[in-house]
Structure 1
Amino acid sequence: MRNVLSAVAIETLLLTSAAATEPVVFHRAHFPDDTVVSLSLVGNQSAARVKYDVDVLISLSLSSANGGVSYSDPGTHKASVRCSSPAIVSVSGVDYPIPASDAGGSDWKDDLWKAVCTPPTS
């Protein structure tokens, strides 16, 4: 059942992202100096490696608390995601396990996994 839900979530992400005109922000970090760092999904495709489900491209931008963009990284950053157990986000060849629960809080890799692997709700 989990594999079916993962496949549906991946297909939904692929179709939604193809139709979207703006990047999908999946993580924001707020800092004491009112700087906000946003990570966005700007591309995705079926994974090139069998171990993963999706390869994604991530963009990074910095803004002030009032919403003005102060920096937008001109490059993109690659990551691979496996939705089925054991859940993994891979960056630069390093696999980061994604915990089954939110008990320990979440970081950007957890949020990326959720954005890619969790079916949207309405």
Structure 2
Amino acid sequence: MGRLCLAVAAFVIVASGLEAQERQPFHIAQFPDSRTVSLTITSAATSEDIEYDYDVAIGLTEHKTGGEPIFVDNGTHVMRIRCQAPRTVLVGATVYRLHDPPVMGDWKEDLWKALCLQPVS
């Protein structure tokens, strides 16, 4: 009985910690009416396609001026990322080749940076 209680307590602590971790946006766009839209990576894995490095899903949240969410897109927006030249983001059937030098403010560039420029330990 003691082990069961300890296991349940450990699970509750871990689960609550996971829920508390909010995904950090890789891109934030601000609009003239002071609303913002943030994009987050909701899942990432090694790509199943040998031409790409990552298969990712992203989520979108629209925020009011004060930061409160007014729209959360729970859809699954899946894309593939190639880190090496040519730097590429595949969205649906559309292939986006990223510019060199990078274009500031482009969500695809920011997604590429979030995945491909992570420090390696």
| Partner Cα distance (1:37, 1:106) in 2 | 13
Which residue of the partner structure matches residue 107 of structure 1?
106
Q: Which of the two has higher C-alpha Rg? A: 2
Q: 1:24 touches 1:42 (CA, 8 Å); kept in 2?
A: no
Query: How far off is 1:100 after superposition?
Result: 2.5
| Partner Cα distance (2:90, 2:35) in 1 | 27
How do 1:29-108 residues align onto structure 2 when only pairs under 5 Å count? 29-102=29-102, 104-108=103-107
Query: How far off is 1:33 after superposition?
Result: 1.1
Query: How far off is 1:64 after superposition?
Result: 1.3
TM-score (norm: length of structure 1)? 0.76
Which residue of the partner structure matches residue 118 of structure 1?
117
Which residue of the partner structure matches residue 4 of structure 2?
none
| Partner Cα distance (1:120, 1:69) in 2 | 31
Aligned residues: 102
| Partner Cα distance (1:101, 1:107) in 2 | 12
| Partner Cα distance (1:72, 1:22) in 2 | 14
Could you give the per-residue CA deviations for residues 64-102 of structure 1, whole angstroms, max 9, x where no partner exists? 121111111121200100001110000002110112323
The structure showing larger relative contact order (alpha-carbon pairs under 8 Å, at least 6 residues apart) is 1
| Partner Cα distance (1:23, 1:57) in 2 | 13
Which residue of the partner structure matches residue 12 of structure 2?
none
Query: How far off is 1:120 after superposition?
Result: 4.0
TM-score (norm: length of structure 2)? 0.77
Ranges in structure 1 where 5+ consecutive residues have no aligned partner: 1-19
Please provide the CA RMSD for this pair. 2.0
Task: Give the residue type in structure 1 aligned to 2:23.
Answer: P
Percentage of pairs with the same residue: 38
Q: 1:53 touches 1:81 (CA, 8 Å); kept in 2?
A: yes
Runs in 1 of length 4+ with deviation above 3 angstroms?
none
Ranges in structure 2 where 5+ consecutive residues have no aligned partner: 1-19
